């Protein structure tokens, strides 16, 4: 009798971005799961790039995400102050490079002017209404964030509350949240 179970895989996360009231915030939970086991609860999936002028968060395989952070950092050095161009160039590489095509991750990135979602299929998208969620709990965070955007809460409060909703619903998301914030051009 053979074992037909799928091998354990690294699972999900939740990354949330909110642009409101002169701030842009990216928040991410800290849980790393392998199959049904929590391997780490305090991973840092959100970080500043380009000497603090850009913030980014990733959802997906950890090693893949570190590769993408390094690639994005290199593109930001090549195109300083041009987040959109750096992201488009990275997306081209991600989609066409044989090694990069295999990476399983998504990213949220922002600077003072623009917020973007990057995917391995070459997508570089501006989120509607300045709010986006990615990862296994991304849709829960996105829904909560959109509902909270109509309140008087600031960007960080919205992101934290939306992340709490995702952590309550998604088993691959926890409440150990890292937040990075930038002032915007508003």
* 121: its two tokens: 């299929």
- What are the distances in angstroms from CA 140 to CA 23, 102, 113, 162? 22, 27, 26, 8
Q: Is 50 annotated as a binding residue?
A: no
Q: What residue has token string 């934290």?
A: 160
Classify strands 115-119 and 124-125 as parallel, antiparallel or unpaired.
antiparallel
Q: How far apart are CA 24 and CA 31, in angstroms?
A: 23
Taking Cα atoms as reference points, which of 70, 42, 40, 39 lies closest to residue 56?
A: 70
* CA-only gyration radius of the chain, Å: 16
DSSP notation for 42-84: ----EEEEGGGTEEEEEEE-HHHHHHHHHHHHHHHHHSTT-HH
Q: Which active-site residues does the annotation give?
A: 13
Q: Is 173 annotated as a binding residue?
A: yes
Find the length of the chain. Answer: 186
Q: Are 69 and 45 in contact (CB under 8 A)?
A: no
Which residues are part of a known binding site for Na(+)?
167, 170, 173
Which residues are part of a known binding site?
167, 170, 173
């Amino acid at each position: 009798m053979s074992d037909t179970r799928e091998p354990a895989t690294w699972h999900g996360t939740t990354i949330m971005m909110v642009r409101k009231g002169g701030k842009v915030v990216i928040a991410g939970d800290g849980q790393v799961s392998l199959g049904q086991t929590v391997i780490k609860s305090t991973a840092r999936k959100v970080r500043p790039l380009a000497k603090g002028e850009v913030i980014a968060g990733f959802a997906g395989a950890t090693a893949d995400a570190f590769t993408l952070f390094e690639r994005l950092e290199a593109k930001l050095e090549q195109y300083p102050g041009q987040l959109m161009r750096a992201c488009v160039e990275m997306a081209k590489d991600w989609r066409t490079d044989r090694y990069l095509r295999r990476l399983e991750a998504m990213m949220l990135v922002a600077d003072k002017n623009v917020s973007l979602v990057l995917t391995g299929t070459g997508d570089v998208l501006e989120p509607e209404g300045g709010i986006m969620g990615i990862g296994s709990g991304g849709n829960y965070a996105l829904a909560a964030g959109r509902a909270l955007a109509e309140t008087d809460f600031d960007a960080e409060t919205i992101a934290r509350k939306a992340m709490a909703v995702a952590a309550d619903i998604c088993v691959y998301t926890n409440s150990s949240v890292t937040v990075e914030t930038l002032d915007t051009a508003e």
